[in-house]
Amino acid sequence: MYNCALILAAGEGKRMKSNTPKVLHKVCGKEMVNHVIDTLKSAGIEDINVIVGKSAEQVKEKTGDRNASYSLQDAQLGTAHAVKCALEFLKDKKGTVLIFTGDAPLITKDTVEKLVSYKDEEDYSGVIVTSIIENPFGYGRILRDRDGVKGIIEHKDCNKDELLINEINAGMYAFDIEDLVENIGKISNDNVQKEYYLTDIIKIFVKQNKKVGSLPVPFEETLGVNSPLELSKVEAIMRNRINTMHMINGVKIIDPVSTYIDVDVKIDSNTIIYPGNVLQGNTEIKEGTILYPNSRIENSIIGENVTVQCSVILDSTIGKNSTVGPYAYIRPQSVIGERTRIGDFVEIKKSVIGNGTKVSHLTYIGDAEVGQNCNFGCGTVVVNYDGKKKCKTIIGNNAFIGCNTNLVSPVEVKDNTYIAAGSTITEEVPEESLAIARARQVNIKGWVSKRKTK
């Protein structure tokens, strides 16, 4: 049977008090509406139409790589009006249309699949996703009699008895496309809010003796986001799901509550993650690696058997058997080799560091290519910026760079070289040589006592 989906995403989300359209707020590194699109796709629903409103352009841009189509709802006159705006998308289609909202990202693949198969098995005209909750305040309530679902009544339209109903409409549905298209225009806005309620379609179906069903799901999956507080609650649930999945896969997470892993991060088994780590974007952590507390790693690949502590690593690669930190800062486009040591208060920017090289303390390396098995003394600075432009430093293999060396770029240090501590290197250091670039020490004997007698 043919399936497609509508995602309602035209609301502005005023309560977010943010310039970002509501559905573009991220949960564990991915925009809410993209969570919904990806979940639908994982359940095999490919034909997806997103109903956009005032922030149409932004939403289109951020969902652009997901192959969805769009319908525009200029003014938000209610959920039925939103669906009407997608009639062009539904035209001439036969089968099932799922309707979800772009601000409820916790819905699972499993539930989407259940919803589809439940609707098909019993040949329903409509299936409503429902939950039983303790405090149903604000939600549409499910009206039933002995034969089943009779309708949905919005909170603001409930009478005293209806307010006591604790089975709520989650705002997610599966409809027969033809039945929906035929009847969507019959919905009026004759209610307290003067809105066109999609929920009114149920009463219309019942009147026409069409079959209506309900699919109960855990309330957690249906949680929507209207405010920063709700966003944080939804994020905590998503975070817990992600961490649980990694732990099932063999990642040892010491304290899941304080470990923040984005949805697209990949982590091998046999790894350990201590509290306070924030793993973002397309980061990959390879087998045997230990992340000691408090690092932020974004879009980076951390090789096998690496240890990282208290460091920031952005858009970079760390080779296997290396150590990073504490307090290292590895900036974008850096490629750190195998068996390297990047120690405390070391900043590396857009540089390549060869295998076996040690940069142990208090050093800045920017726009440089460094060979293998070099040793950087404490306090080395690559002077890569002359105030106008950035220049490159190239260092060969087996260079021993003394403490407090300045390497004024552009400059080259060849293989098998030594640089004396305190040197400011402005010219090439040839192979197999020692460079000393500092004033020679002069000791003036008796200088102190002479000064005193003056």
Distance (Å, whole) CA 438 – CA 420: 8
CA-nearest of 40, 41, 224, 50 to 131 is 224
The least distance separating ligand UD1 from the CB of residue 374, rounded to whole angstroms, comes to 56
DSSP string, 15-51: GG-SSS-GGGSEETTEEHHHHHHHHHHHTT--EEEEE
First to last CA, the chain: 104
Active site residue 361: yes
Nearer Cβ to ligand UD1 (82/348)? 82
- Would you state the structure tokens that stand for residue 105, as one six-digit string? 């990202």
Nearer Cβ to ligand UD1 (136/303)? 136
The least distance separating ligand UD1 from the CB of residue 71, rounded to whole angstroms, comes to 10
User: Contact 285/268 with Cβ under 8 angstroms?
Assistant: yes
Q: Is 78 annotated as a binding residue?
A: yes
Distance (Å, whole) CA 383 – CA 364: 8
Distance (Å, whole) CA 83 – CA 98: 11
Return the ∠ at Cα 354 (arms to 350 and 357), rounded to 5°.
110
Q: Is 61 annotated as a binding residue?
A: no
Residues between 71 and 130 with contacts to ligand UD1, criterion CB under 6 A: 73, 76-79, 81-82, 101-103
Peptide linkage before 228 cis (omega within 30 of 0)? no
Distance (Å, whole) CA 21 – CA 274: 34
> Which class for 153: exposed (0-12), middle (13-18), buried (19 or more C-beta within 10 A)?
buried
Q: Is 226 annotated as a binding residue?
A: yes
SS3 207: helix
Q: Is 146 annotated as a binding residue?
A: no
Does position 171 interact with ligand UD1 (CB under 6 A)? The reply is yes
The least distance separating ligand UD1 from the CB of residue 351, rounded to whole angstroms, comes to 46
Q: Is 8 annotated as a binding residue?
A: yes
Q: Is 407 annotated as a binding residue?
A: no
Q: Is 34 annotated as a binding residue?
A: no
Distance (Å, whole) CA 118 – CA 216: 11
Distance (Å, whole) CA 134 – CA 96: 31
Residues between 197 and 256 with contacts to ligand UD1, criterion CB under 6 A: 197-199, 224
- Would you state the structure tokens that stand for residue 235, as one six-digit string? 């994020």
CA-nearest of 25, 9, 26, 2 to 70 is 9
- Counting residues that bind ligand UD1 (by CB under 6 A) gives 26
User: Contact 77/184 with Cβ under 8 angstroms?
Assistant: no
Nearer Cβ to ligand UD1 (55/409)? 55
Q: 130-169 mask for ligand UD1 (x: CB under 6 A)?
A: ---------xx-----------x-x-------------xx
The partner residues of 249 in beta bridges, in order of sequence, read: none
Nearer Cβ to ligand UD1 (23/181)? 23
Q: Which stretch binds ligand UD1 (CB under 6 A): 64-72, 194-202, 261-269, 334-342?
A: 194-202
Does position 312 interact with ligand UD1 (CB under 6 A)? The reply is no
Q: Is 193 annotated as a binding residue?
A: no
190: CB partners within 8 A, 6+ apart: none
Nearer Cβ to ligand UD1 (97/353)? 97
Candidates 5, 16, 37, 51; binder of ligand UD1 (CB under 6 A) is: 51
Nearer Cβ to ligand UD1 (141/246)? 141
Nearer Cβ to ligand UD1 (137/447)? 137
Residue ranges for the known binding site for acetyl-CoA are 384-385, 421, 438
Q: Which residues are at the interface with ligand UD1 (CB under 6 A)?
A: 8, 10-11, 51, 73, 76-79, 81-82, 101-103, 139-140, 152, 154, 168-171, 197-199, 224
Q: Which residues are catalytic?
A: 361
Residue ranges for the known binding site for UDP-N-acetyl-alpha-D-glucosamine are 8-11, 22, 73, 78-79, 140, 154, 169, 226, 331, 349, 364, 375
Residue ranges for the known binding site are 8-11, 22, 73, 78-79, 103, 140, 154, 169, 226, 331, 349, 364, 375, 384-385, 421, 438
